[in-house]
Amino acid sequence: MASRNQNRPPRSPNSKKEGFGNIPFDKRRKVETQGTGRRQAFSAVNKQDITTTSDVGSIEECGKVDFTKDEVLALLSERAKAGKFDTKAKIEQMTDIIKRLKVCVRWFQQVDETHVQEKDNLKVSLESAEQKYNHKELEAKTKEEELQAIISNLEENVVSLHDKLAKEEFSKQDAIECHRREKESRVAAEKVQASLGEELDKVKEEKLTANQKVASLEDMYKRLQEYNTSLQQYNSKLQTDLETVRAALTRAEKEKSSIVENLSTLRGHSKSLQDQLASSRILQDDAIKQKDSLLSEVTNLRNELQQVRDDRDRQVEQSRKLTEEIGKYQEHVGKSSQELGSLIAKSGSLEETCSLQKKRICMLEQQLAIADEKQKIADASVSLTRTEFEEQKHRLCELQDRLADMEHQLCEGELLRKKLHNTILELKGNIRVFCRVRPLLPDDGGRHEATVIAYPTSTEAQGRSVDLVQSGNKHPFTFDKVFNHDASQEEVFFEISQLVQSALDGYKVCIFAYGQTGSGKTYTMMGRPERPEQKGLIPRSLEQIFQASQALGAQGWKFKMQVSMLEIYNETIRDLLSSNRTTSMELVRADSGTSGKQYTITHDVNGHTHVSDLTIFDVSSIGKISSLLQQAAQSRSVGKTQMNEQSSRSHFVFTMRISGVNESTEQQVQGVLNLIDLAGSERLSKSGATGDRLKETQAINKSLSALSDVIFALAKKEDHVPFRNSKLTYLLQPCLGGDSKTLMFVNISPDPSSAGESLCSLRFAARVNACEIGIPRRQTSQKLLDSRLSYG
């Protein structure tokens, strides 16, 4: 397919290194014939990187340098403006750009540290505000509970007072009823007195007839005198009793007046009692007047004694009757006086009870006033607490807003840091290395032993460093990204999504997983496709490529995608998508020395890798690729060892070739995506392999050892790199020594029994991370060259 350059603005930081991609193929071949000189020029750039530290230090000594977002974007979009074949000028300009990028990265690290510190301070202040608010709220609740308890007690006291007042009202009603009965008795006495008056009138009428019987009444006169004296004594006694009653009444009037002043509710009752007492006084005055009239009549009787002597016998009999009636009257009056005394005693007890109740009411009123004051104070404190709560809530909202802003700035800064970091790595040409630690499994032998993996928490090392402890010694390692055992498949893919996108932009991309047997390489690359949340990098990468290609279709792009899958088993290439199901027989013939289908690896001048007779499928949907992946998984060689129930016994290589054409701009892109799941390294002493498993282990360790030799040679920048020592290294030659964007996943196990193998894997990954393989180039071409390509 003919190559054409791209005529559209860059979509990612990876598409900004296209200074060499704008050279036509005829001239580029001339430049590539001078490969030795070009590699020396890039080595000169790498040597000049050593001096950039001192230059950057001198820039920092001159003063603090600040960058704006526009300046950073301008710095990222800046390209070398030298001539196409002026390599030295380009190297100098790229060195200057690298220096400024390093200064920008250091400035960004300082800004990042300040942002993290401010975030910590905001979190501390937020926690203190929340604690203060909780303390205030707890105090307000306790105060409210105390006031509620006081109010409930006061309400109970008021209820009890109401009950007692009702009882007092009932007792007063009883007293009024007693007074009414006394009044009735007094009315009956008045009636008796009236009947006695009538009888006395009759006696007066009979006195006219008694003049003739005076002689007979002399004895009766004496008796009458005696009776008169007794009546006088009784009258005097009644007068004394009347005086005592009057004094008691005066005292009762005074006490009743005091009761009227203290209890407004008893005024009406006391007035009625006073009226009754006044009526009783009138009755008593009438009785006295009657007694006086009787005395006058007795004197008249003395004068008329001679007249009534004749009727003495009859008068004696009548006097006896009168005496009996008067005795009865005296008894009735005595009872009335006793009832009056009991009423007076009851009135006194009622007055004492009222005074006690008045005192208690005053005390309760004072307590109620105190409770009201406390309630007012509590309401004031509650309002103050509410005001403080609203202020703290407002401040909390402000702190949360500031924290959200800082987190947003931190996220933007992290994206900018990743962008700068990726730009520097692409300028250096290093292989990026990600480390992933799998979680402990139930079958791990050292599950109850101390952990051997630690993650530093400092600002610079967080998310990029891992420490391995072996025999009490700590071995620190730093990579481009470190995923702990809690990292999900989605988080891992998010970090490589931009790298996968580069394949659509025309770059060669290679991602391979390395590690010991059972460290989680196959889970990282393939995962469990039947569970969406556990899909590996290969299914997720293919989904992203198809989604992005469909989105680019609106811009006039059309893509053609071809897929091939193979495995390297015992240094023999097997086609996993071959329609001929005799693969296993071919493997047996290959192991026994007979000739089967032979696959050869070749690399063209453009750095593309080809495997002869390999099955290649054109794919246009994710469903087609999923079925091909399932077919390859069923055909791949797996076996059981003491370290893993289903151990991959071969190196799995997935390749997707992407060709894109934009008919409106006549641009073409050619990208390659290589996703490789390496077989796990293992020791024969631990795996317990015998027979076929032993041959597989030896072949795996041999190919991984050849990969290690290639890495060492690249790290030392030796003239000869032994790519041909293994089918694996020869297949990966464009990824390790060409212009590809390469990423290695080093998978390690946290099992303490595997600490030695994990340490070897981490050391190998550190060497890989230090290798410089060259700046990646974009594979584009264009039939019509015009000025629209000047952006590169």
Binding-site residues, please? 515-522
Helix (H, G, I), strand (E, B) or coil at 378: helix
CA–CA gap between residue 104 and residue 102 (Å, rounded)? 5
Q: Quick one: CA dihedral 200, 204, 210, 214, positive or negative?
A: positive
- The DSSP string of 714-769 is HHHT-S---GGGSHHHHHTHHHHHSS-EEEEEEEE---GGGHHHHHHHHHHHHHHH
Give the span between the Cα atoms of 768 and 736, in whole angstroms: 9
Element (H, E) at 68: none
Extract long-range pairs of 219-224: CB within 8 Å, 24+ residues apart. Answer: 219/312, 220/308, 220/309, 220/312, 220/315, 220/316, 220/319, 221/302, 221/305, 221/309, 223/316, 223/319, 224/298, 224/301, 224/319
Measure Cα distances from 227 to 50, 198, 233, 548 in Å: 154, 21, 10, 143
Contact 242, 280 (CB under 8 A): no
Q: Please enumerate, as own/partner, the contacts of 630-638 that have beta carbons within 8 Å and a separation of 24 or more.
A: 630/529, 631/576, 631/577, 632/565, 632/576, 632/577, 633/526, 635/574, 635/576, 635/583, 636/567, 636/576, 637/567, 637/569, 637/574, 637/696
**d(Cα 380, Cα 360) in Å, to the nearest integer?**
30
Other CB atoms within 10 Å distance of the CB of residue 296: 10
What DSSP designation does 588 have?
H
CB distance 14 to 507 below 8 Å = yes
Residue 394: how many other CB atoms lie within 10 Å: 10
Residue 613 one-letter amino acid? D
DSSP states of 497-542 as a string?
Answer: HHHHHHHHTT-EEEEEEEEBTTSSHHHHHTB-TTSGGGB-HHHHHH
658 neighbors 669 (Cβ within 8 angstroms): yes
CB of 102 within 8 A of CB of 424? yes
Interhelix angle 218-262/312-428, rounded to 10 degrees, is 10
Q: Summarize the annotated binding site for ATP as residue ranges.
A: 515-522
Q: Pick from 79, 279, 318, 109: which is nearest to 189 by CA?
A: 279
Task: Tell me which residue has tokens 């009044």.
Answer: 183
Task: Please choose, from the candidates 308, 288, 138, the residue with its C-alpha nearest in 3D space to the C-alpha of residue 211.
Answer: 308
Q: Is 670 helix (H, G, I), strand (E, B) or coil?
A: strand
DSSP 449-475: SPP-EE---STTTTTTEEEEEETTEEE
| Strand-strand pairing, 465-470 and 473-478 | antiparallel
- Does residue 690 contact residue 713 with C-beta atoms inside 8 Å? no
Distances (CA, A) of 591 to 575, 585, 768: 16, 10, 32
Q: Residue length, the chain?
A: 792
Amino acid code (one letter) for 586: E
Please list the residues that pair with 670 across neighbouring strands. 659
